[in-house]
Amino acid sequence: MKKLLLFFAIVSVAGMLASCNGNGKTAEASSEENAAEAEEIGMLQGYCYVDLGLSVNWATCNVGANAPEEVGYYFAWGETSKKDNYTAESNKYFGKQGEFAPEYTKYNSDDNLTKLEADDDAATSNWGTSWRTPTKDEFKELIEKCTWTWKGNGYEVKGANGKCIFFPVTGTYSGDKLFNEKIDGFYWASTMYSSSKAEYMAFSELIEPHNSNGGRCDGQCVRPVCSK
Summarised one tens digit per residue, pLDDT across range 126-169 is 999 999 999 999 999 999 999 999 999 999 999 999 999 999 99
Beta strands per DSSP E along the chain? 41-44, 47-50, 57-59, 94-97, 102-104, 131-132, 147-150, 154-158, 164-168, 172-174, 177-179, 184-194, 197-204, 210-215, 225-226
Q: How many CB atoms lie within 10 A of CB 181?
A: 14
pLDDT in the model for residue 40: 78
pLDDT in the model for residue 84: 95
DSSP helix, strand, coil percent of the chain (3-state; round to 5): 20, 30, 45
Summarised one tens digit per residue, pLDDT across range 9-30 is 444 444 444 334 332 323 333 3
- CA distances from residue 2 to 72, 106, 151, 198 in whole angstroms, order as listed: 14, 32, 27, 30
Summarised one tens digit per residue, pLDDT across range 96-123 is 998 899 999 999 989 989 999 999 999 9
Domain that holds residue 121: 2-226
pLDDT in the model for residue 36: 35
At 65, is the pLDDT very low, low, confident or very high (cuts 50, 70, 90)?
Answer: very high
How many distinct structural domains can be found in the chain?
1
What whole-number distance in Å separates Cα of residue 200 and Cα of residue 30? 40
Least confident interval from 9-18, 61-70, 124-133, 173-182? 9-18
Residue whose C-alpha is closest to residue 166's, from 179, 155, 175: 155
Q: What is the pTM of this model?
A: 0.84
